[in-house]
Amino acid sequence: MDMPATTRRSLYPEIEPYETGFLDVGDGHKLYWELTGNPNGKPAVMLHGGPGGGSSPDHRRQWNPDKYKILVFDQRGCGKSTPYASLENNTTWDLVDDIEKLRTQVSKVEKWQVFGGSWGSTLSLAYAQKYPERATEIILRGIFLFDQYEIDWMYKDGGASQIYPDKFDEFLAPIPEAERGDLVEAYRKRLTGDDKTEQLRAAQAWSKWEGDIVTLLPSASTIEHFTSPEVAVAVARIENHYMATNGWFEEGQLLRGAEKLRGIPGVIVQGRHDTCTPPVAAWKLKKAWPEVELNIIPDGGHLFSEPGVLDGLVRATDKFAGL
């Protein structure tokens, strides 16, 4: 259903974590985490986008802090987690195992609300399908199922390039014409090569392309964030690493696995004009998981911070808190 643009909810006030730390998850990786809100509240875990995007202080503000115990963390290789931008032992299923370790060793809860947007929606589905008994509810934004058509939409001519042809030309610029038949592979060579100057140039071009298409209207601050070296290198290297391997999923795996979610309450918040993860994936997921509430935001793009999308997410967390 299309959500009307009535009085909209926004982020809860700024709040600091009551506890932070690093969890050694093995394989040489240490994950930065933070707990915010009410230590005795309803447990929730936030799965950020990217992969490689890292968390932000605004992420924890999507829940009522009096009602929720909120765990936010940086996935392998990004944000404050170490080693920075590492691709070693960095797969979807490593991250799924990490979430379980955070549940038992950090949050120390039996079950929790699983919340994720963009790549975080992919990871939420992967986690909840492996551990359905651990999810009290699932809240998703900007559905990405990691099927081939979605990768092609982003990184081949004929998808988002048809809407942003000028920005796609900028994305093509670092790659010689002879290598443009497989842009993911062409970028992989540069992002994993030894030339740090070329790596940064490729990382900023890769990340800027995403920044260009994630908002409904142009946003200079979004582009500045996506192209800052400390963000761009982690986002580009890790995203590219996942795209080159189809996220370690079989084609159609997450849709087929949706039957494991039957009986788990869920909400999907999807921007109608999301040109990063178009609404067709959310529609397919709704048909595979009929119980989920699908809210399509008429004036929404991809980012969680866009007014209509944020309104839908905060309403969902409030709903499951009984507000």
- pLDDT (tens digit per residue) in 274-296: 999 999 999 999 999 999 999 99
Active-site residue, from 86, 107, 118, 219: 118
The architecture CATH gives domain 19-147+250-320? 3-Layer(aba) Sandwich (3.40)
Is 147 tagged catalytic?
Answer: no
- pLDDT (tens digit per residue) in 64-118: 999 999 999 999 999 999 999 999 999 999 999 999 999 999 999 999 999 999 9
CB 117 within 8 A of CB 144: no
Peptide bond into 51 cis (omega under 30): yes
- Looking at the DSSP bridge assignments, the partners of residue 82 are 30
Which position has the token pair 């042809």?
Answer: 165
- pLDDT (tens digit per residue) in 148-206: 999 999 999 999 999 999 999 999 999 999 999 999 999 999 999 999 999 999 999 99
Active-site residue, from 48, 59, 241, 302: 302
Could you give the residue range(s) of every CATH 3.40.50.1820 domain in the chain?
19-147+250-320
- C-alpha angle 322-293-42 in degrees, rounded to nearest 5: 30
Task: Specify burial of residue 225 (Cβ count, 10 A radius: 0-12, 13-18, 19+).
Answer: middle
Is 274 tagged catalytic?
Answer: yes
Is 29 tagged catalytic?
Answer: no
**Quick one: pLDDT at residue 323?**
81
Active-site residue, from 98, 147, 274, 311: 274
